[in-house]
Amino acid sequence: MRVGISKFVRLAVAAIATISVTASAFAAEKELIFGMLLVGPYNDHGWSQAHYEGGHYVEKKLPGSKMIYIDKVNPADRPGLTIPMVVDDLVDKGATVIVGNSDDMKDGMREAAQMHPDVQFIHISGDDALTGKASPNLSNLMGKMEYGKMMAGFVAALTTKNGKIGYLGPLINEETRRLSVAAYLGARYAWTEVLKKPESELKFKVSWIGFWFNIPGVTADPTQVSRNFFDTGYDVVLSGIDTTEATIVAEQKRKEGVDAYAVPYDYIGSCETAPKACLGVPYYNWGPDYVKIFKAIQDGSWKQSWTWSDPDWTDINNIDTSAIGFVKGAALSAENSAKLDQFIKGLGDGSINLFKGPLTYQDGKSYLKEGEVATDNQIWYLEQLLAGMEGVSK
Amino acid sequence: MRGVKQHVTEIALILGMVTLFTALVLSLVGASPLDAFGHLIKGSLGSWSKFSRVLNVWIPLTLCSVGLLYAFRTGLWNIGVEGQVVIGAIGATAILRFGMEGGGQMHVWMALLLAMLFGVLWALFAGSLKVKAGVHEIFAGLGLNFVAMGLVLWVIFGPWKRPGIASMSGTQPFPRELWFPTLEGWRVSPFALGLALLVIVISAWLLYRSRVGLNLDAVGKNPRAVRLFGLSPSRYMLIAIMVSGALAGLAGGLQVSGVYHRLIPAISSGYGYLGLLVVMLANFRLAPVPFIALFFAALNVGSIQLPMMMQLDSSLAGVIQGACVLSALLVFGLRGLKKRRQSNE
């Protein structure tokens, strides 16, 4: 079937022109539809699942609210997909609030927010609202996971037999530096102040895999990296990535007779995948903040903001109030559990502040002077890992 | 007339088989095939913004597919098309990075030119290995694809990383002045669309109406015989694979300047490999390519509705595309068998 050129062009043009051009965007009244862009699978037992369940919490607590979500929003899992595209689609479906849950979506969220000035955008973990790069309808939200990471580091240092703690890091940026440093500070506190051991005997090594979760052929394989930690004598591995490889490997190692432990991250139920090796999990509880923000959007009182939410120190595991919590794992000893409670109490009443000088960067530059307490800004924009940590800063 | 009737029957047969197969798969996982097909159609053709997205996929996919036709003409399997897209994207980014401060349209067009040039050079590697060293182009192409993937990761995590952060999300985004030109309110650039249509028209002439096309065809059909006419098969093979590479590179350049506005690791979006499927389904002819590419693009875009609306995995699009090609191969194979039997009688 050889078609002549002119006929062929006519065909092509006709095909394009005959497609109906009807935008079916209709915004529903009173109800609030929020679109959720999850970077990983909704059931990853980690970062994305924490958001997914936060969304369900909103549906329960906020009458008339409805979630539409799309998971695996990253170019490796969904080739050809861009954030503005998905946002267009969600807005078509009536969404008036869009939540993007990855640092990775920063550029796309900014672009989409400009294209839809009537829609509110909440970019998790970003700082565009702080730096002024955001349009007025783009806000940021994050929880102060630094505290959760301090607790994670704390139990790790109490549990390790030889003082060798591994940190399975994602990619290197301000957020991940900040979190690994917090874990180190928690570990150092437990090691020197609780166990009264010399600081020089604590080894804290960070290995970065390159992204928030495993992408075969692109990132280092987190299973391999975790295994490598245990094989080289590290007996506790803290996970800084979105998924649970570290904990699963730790449990496998236990079956091989190694005294291995891990601390997962992000999601309240992370320990369930491998309870015997799990010391506990610092987790995000997005529900309460989502409800607060969506309610304000619904009644029109919402203003652009950069929110960095504290735990509820009266009960960090209160799912209706606390942005950050820590669930103790089955592998945590009773004695260490009691010490952790003391530590949490100290953090809550301010008697323990780990972001306090003197603290030195890896390259010897001073981060905080003697007695200086870090401001939120100084913590957020941490430039390097600290002296005493092993691993790449940039 | 009989030819047209045969094609229509064949297409109906292929689509029927695919629909049946997909419906079966969906029923097995307990989903309604009707709902799924409905979401696929609504999600791709339901609104202008959705159709724009389809066109955004169609443009690079068509460029890759049309490029592949040239190589196939001479009997070459340019499987390296995937890497040529990636290399093209790297070339475009190299130019656009120069224009980060106060750049303009000049940079964009230069970027596309370099993208094509990079694509040509990358294809020439595979082509030269074939004609000079006798390395099969599939092996060379596959190898070069891996090298290209390694290169793009290296530049993103190395020399071109964002200040302070090396990230999968790619290089620093380009300012608006360096985006491929489009019109206000358009989600797909009409200029890119025009470029793709132009490529189709020119290729229709080159492949079917020009002496070059005839020679390419001759090389593919009988490389030994063409020597008798004073034609060098190697030369025509190299020309064909270079055109293939140029179009793939152009696709990569458009992905950078028109779609992502930065270089990302998955910049090719797999359009090179998908293009191979398109061309196979088109039975290596040009006329069906734009339509099959449109169909595949619609599937890719529409499939995002499946996880959103039905909690189904969107890889169903890939299942349908694969099933299409397999059914097509089956149908074409049967036709060949029938012909042979007839000629035997």
Task: Report whether A115 contacts A121 (CB < 8 A).
Answer: no
Q: Which tokens belong to B5?
A: 């009737």
What is the SS3 string spanning B62-75? HHHHHHHHHHHHCC
Total number of domains constituting chain A: 2
Sequential pLDDT tens for chain A (394 residues): 444 445 544 444 444 443 333 233 333 346 899 999 999 989 888 899 999 999 999 999 999 999 999 999 988 888 888 899 899 989 989 999 999 999 889 889 999 999 999 999 999 999 999 999 899 999 999 999 999 999 999 999 999 999 999 999 998 888 999 999 999 999 999 999 999 999 999 999 999 998 888 888 778 899 999 999 999 999 999 999 989 999 999 999 999 999 999 999 999 999 998 999 999 999 999 999 999 999 999 989 999 999 999 999 999 999 999 999 999 999 999 999 999 999 999 999 999 999 998 999 999 999 999 999 999 999 999 999 999 999 998 7
Same domain, A152 and A112: no
pLDDT in tens, B48-61: 888 999 999 999 99
A22 in any annotated domain:
no
What is the ipTM metric for this complex?
0.78
Total number of domains constituting chain B: 1
Where a domain ends, among A257, A276, A309?
A309
Task: Report whether B258 contacts B238 (CB < 8 A).
Answer: no
DSSP string, A201-217: G-EEEEEE-SSSS--TT
A10 in any annotated domain:
no
B153 in any annotated domain:
yes
Residue type, A160: T
pLDDT in tens, B74-120: 999 999 999 999 999 999 999 999 888 887 889 999 999 999 999 99
A24 in any annotated domain:
no
Same domain, A94 and A180: no
8 Å CB contact of A89 and B200: no
What is the domain range of residue B82? 60-302
A167 in any annotated domain:
yes
- CA–CA distance from A117 to each of A32, A137, A300, B188, B326 (Å)? 17, 6, 15, 20, 46
Instruction: Please give the residue of chain A at the shortest CA–CA distance from B274.
Output: A79
Q: What is the CA radius of gyration of chain A?
A: 23
Interface test with B, best of A81, A92, A219 (most B CBs within 10 A): A81
pLDDT for res A21 = 32
Distance, in Å, from the CA atom of A331 to the CA atom of A237, rounded to the nearest integer, reads 13
B175 in any annotated domain:
yes
Q: What is the CATH number of the domain that holds A377?
A: 3.40.50.2300
Same domain, A180 and A220: yes
B17 in any annotated domain:
no
Same domain, A303 and A366: no
Shortest CA distance to A278 belongs to which of A260, A255, A256?
Answer: A260
What is the domain range of residue A382? 145-284+323-390
In the stretch 276-295 of chain B, residues with CB closer than 8 A to chain A read 285, 287, 290-291, 294
A4 in any annotated domain:
no
Shortest CA distance to B107 belongs to which of B90, B85, B92?
Answer: B92
Distance, in Å, from the CA atom of A329 to the CA atom of A319, rounded to the nearest integer, reads 18
Helix or strand run (H / E) with residue A338:
helix A334-349
Shortest CA distance to B219 belongs to which of B210, B228, B187?
Answer: B228
Same domain, A36 and A114: yes
Q: What is the CATH number of the domain that holds B103?
A: 1.10.3470
> Closest Cα of chain A to B204: distance in Å?
7
A124 in any annotated domain:
yes
Q: Which tokens belong to A156?
A: 């790790």
Q: Which chain A positions have a beta carbon within 8 Å of B43's beta carbon?
A: 89
Same domain, A246 and A155: yes
Confirm or reject contact between B266 and chain A (CB < 8 A): yes
> Closest Cα of chain A to B287: distance in Å?
7
Same domain, A265 and A124: no
pLDDT in tens, B193-235: 999 999 999 999 999 999 889 889 888 888 888 888 888 889 9
In the stretch 61-120 of chain B, residues with CB closer than 8 A to chain A read none
DSSP string, A203-254: EEEEEE-SSSS--TTTS--HHHHHHHHHHTT--EEEE-SSS-HHHHHHHHHH
Residues whose CB is less than 8 angstroms from the CB of residue B287 and which lie 6 or more positions away in sequence, other chains included: A1, A2, A3, A8, B204
Same domain, A333 and A356: yes
**For the ranges B125-129, B138-142, B339-343, which has the lowest average pLDDT?**
B339-343
Same domain, A272 and A190: yes
- As a whole number of Å, the end-to-end CA separation of chain B is 24
Closest partner CB to B47 (pick from A12, A23, A81) = A23
8 Å CB contact of A75 and B266: yes
Same domain, A171 and A298: no
Q: How many CA atoms lie within 13 A of A283 on its CB side?
A: 30
Same domain, A262 and A304: no
A11 in any annotated domain:
no
> Closest Cα of chain A to B156: distance in Å?
11
* Whether pLDDT at B153 is above 70: yes
Same domain, A247 and A364: yes
